[in-house]
Amino acid sequence: MQLSDFGKQMSSDAGILTLMDDLGKALAGDKPLAMFGGGNPAQIPAVTNVMKHELELIMADDARLAAMLGNYDTPQGNDHFIDAIVKLVNREYNLGVTRDNVAVTPGSQNGFYMLFNMLAGQTNGAKRKIMLPIVPEYIGYRDQMIEPDSFVSVRPRIDKIGQHEFKYRIDFDAMQIDESVAAIALSRPTNPSGNVVTDDELSKLAELARQHDIPLIIDGAYGLPFPGVIIKSAGQHFDNHTILSLSLSKVGLPSSRVGIFIGPPALMKALSSISAILNLASPGIGQYLVTQLIDSGEIMTLARNEIQPFYADRQQQAWEIFNQKLPGDLPWRLHSYEGTYFFWLWCEGAQKTSKQLYDYLKEHSVIVVPGESFFPGQNIEEWDHARQCIRINFSRPDEELEAGAIILAEAVRWMYN
């Protein structure tokens, strides 16, 4: 039996499949020595306790329980949840949005699939693309386009900092926007690099989006307002060309599958219509669970007091351990850590590729994510840098960071032999 072109494309060797496969196997089978792959949020007991309490309150209320389990919500999302989101973002950032600016999707991953494809692809006889103004960028975007080759991306400027650190910056001189660009999209903080595009860079992108009358999509899965895992000062941007996406996943509820999009009403209406066709409605359980937390603003307190300090602590430990263990005489560099749950390691001038490094580490029971799939819109054969990086999830216990770093240090030495 045959698969359609769409079927083949979606079931071929997608980077996200390897990632989820490694993650699933590691959780189900033999525990690796160090699980630095995957994007699972850490399980933070204080967060789990708050969610447990919210669940108990719902279970004690028959009407809420019945509604949570037994109702399809509207395709736009649950009414109370949407009201709570509107209240929160207006209170935190004075965005001046209304219910019409919001669409809830079954996870933001699914939301991006709908959003990207509703904007890019064949449009009045011409092909339009999603522009990623800086790569590397989130692996999960790469295989989402129904029409192949629908990303265009811009290589960053690379600032080297000291012996073992670097930072990406948007290269505005290399950015060319014309009629073929349907939208500009970026994650902030960026998965995988841990970069936070500066307020100034973001304002310039917003200006370009406004000039060309296209949306600027800011994926805030790790960012503002929650969980706000950003360690430098960073402002929020929103105007009538912005689409901001949020997720309950990185707050600790990845299985709830709730993505939240805030943007121009006409686009949010289109997104909800597509969601009705694909999904009927978004899962209600997560929306019910956190509505009170969002409405009261308690989610911000939880993020500030528990989630952000947790990742700040893990990051500091991991940064110290990796810098201690990795061979000081070789030219590896970690991207400056500014946010997310990841480090991004670059082995400049290495003899071997990051895919080979990934295989070596996997054989030695350390799971990471090879960098090649994080460069949508680029021909990675023509750019060494795109074959010299790996992503490391640092939010692991100390012993695991130590054990993994020792193997990683050997592997990095092997990279240069």
Least separation in angstroms between CB 156 and ligand PLP: 17
Please list every residue from 25 through 84 that binds ligand PLP, using CB under 6 A: 39
To ligand PLP, the closest distance from the beta carbon of 230 in angstroms equals 13
Choose between 223 and 360: whose C-beta lies nearer to ligand PLP: 223
Other Cβ atoms less than 10 A from the Cβ of 166: the count is 18
* Rounded Cα distance, 397 and 34, in Å: 9
Smallest separation (angstroms) from ligand PLP to the CB of 107: 3
Q: Which of 9, 87, 254, 359 binds ligand PLP (CB under 6 A)?
A: 254
Indicate the residue among 248 and 267 with the shorter CB distance to ligand PLP.
248
Closer residue to ligand PLP in complex, CB, 121/254: 254
Cβ neighbours of residue 26 under 8 Å, at least 6 residues apart? 32, 35, 37, 38, 367
The single residue among 32, 75, 77, 140 that binds ligand PLP, judged by CB under 6 A, is 140
Using rule CB under 6 A, residue 107 touches ligand PLP:
yes
Name the residue nearer to ligand PLP (CB basis): 367 or 411.
367
Tokens of 266: 């006409």
Min. distance of Cβ 244 from ligand PLP in angstroms? 12
212 vs 391, which CB is nearer to ligand PLP? 391
* Residue 287 touching ligand PLP (CB under 6 A): no
List the one residue from 78, 108, 272, 373 that touches ligand PLP (CB under 6 A). Answer: 108
Q: In the stretch 169-198, what mask flags binding to ligand PLP with x, by CB under 6 A?
A: ------------------x---x-------
The smaller minimum CB distance to ligand PLP, of residues 212 and 396, is found at: 396
Q: Assess contact for 170 and 134: CB atoms under 8 A.
A: yes
- Determine the interface stretch with ligand PLP among 22-30, 102-110, 149-157, 377-385 (rule: CB under 6 A): 102-110
Using the CB atoms, write b or e for 71-95: b if 16+ within 10 Å.
Answer: eebbbbbbebbbbbbbebbeeebeb
How many residues bind ligand PLP (CB under 6 A)? The answer is: 14
Q: C-beta of 142: minimal distance to ligand PLP in Å?
A: 12
- As measured in angstroms, the least distance from the Cβ of 40 to ligand PLP is 9
Q: Cβ 113 to ligand PLP, closest distance in Å?
A: 10
Binding mask 219-248 for ligand PLP (x = CB under 6 A): x-x-------------------------x-
Please identify, among the stretches 104-112, 303-311, 313-321, 359-367, the one whose residues bind ligand PLP according to the rule CB under 6 A. Answer: 104-112
Of these, 101, 109, 195, 395, which contacts ligand PLP (CB under 6 A)?
A: 109
256 contacts ligand PLP (rule: CB under 6 A): no
Shortest Å, Cβ 249 to ligand PLP:
3
- Considering the complex, state which of residue 77 and residue 259 has its C-beta at the smaller distance from ligand PLP: 259
Interaction site with ligand PLP (CB under 6 A):
39, 107-109, 138, 140, 187, 191, 219, 221, 247, 249, 254, 259
